Amino acid sequence: MKNKMSRNALLQKVLFVLLVVLFFMFALWAQQPPAKAPAPEYKIPPEAAAKVNPVKPTSESLAKGKKLYGFDCAMCHGANGDGKGDMASDMKNVTDFTKPDALKSRTDGELFYVIRNGKGEMPPEGDRAKDDDIWNMVNYIRSLAKK
């Protein structure tokens, strides 16, 4: 009888240890980072893409755009728009505006949207610039494409 009691106690201990081990294994498993969800696709709302540029690319507009570009964009996109600014060295795929077809498939509205809201590693211009300032920059970067 006494022998049976101690065997039960032993069994209980073993079960307890097993449970603890299982618990820790579960805790470790639960800590694994979840499988990475694919990065959401960058989407420009159709109404933003369809926006018509109200600013004509006059020499005045280009001059204003160039000035702001020098302050806010050249450090990445390069002083002449080739995508080789100082900050671009450790950044992939900074758009090269001198490539004739870099912006070809983009509407002015899409460029406006990207400049205002940022994209990937490009920070948003946000409220720093007025609408017309952004349109001036759209005109300016379009003028950089080599013919």
Question: How many CA atoms does the CB half-sphere of 78 hold within 13 Å?
Answer: 15
Supply the DSSP symbol for 145: S
Cβ 131 to ligand HEC shortest distance, Å: 13
By beta-carbon proximity to ligand HEC, the closer residue of 33 and 100 is: 100
Residues near ligand HEC (CB under 6 A): 72-73, 75-77, 87, 91, 93-95, 106, 111, 114-115, 119-123, 125, 137, 141
Question: What is the distance between the alpha carbons of residues 80 and 12, in angstroms, rounded to a whole number?
Answer: 77
Q: Residue for token digits 């900074």?
A: 94
* Nearer residue to ligand HEC within complex by CB, 22 or 74: 74
CB of 133 to ligand HEC, least distance (A): 9
Tokens of 57: 């690319």
CA torsion, ordered 55, 47, 42, 114, to nearest 10 deg: 10
Residue number, 45 or 123, with CB nearest to ligand HEC: 123
Work out how close the CB of 62 gets to ligand HEC at its nearest, in angstroms, rounded to a whole number.
Answer: 13
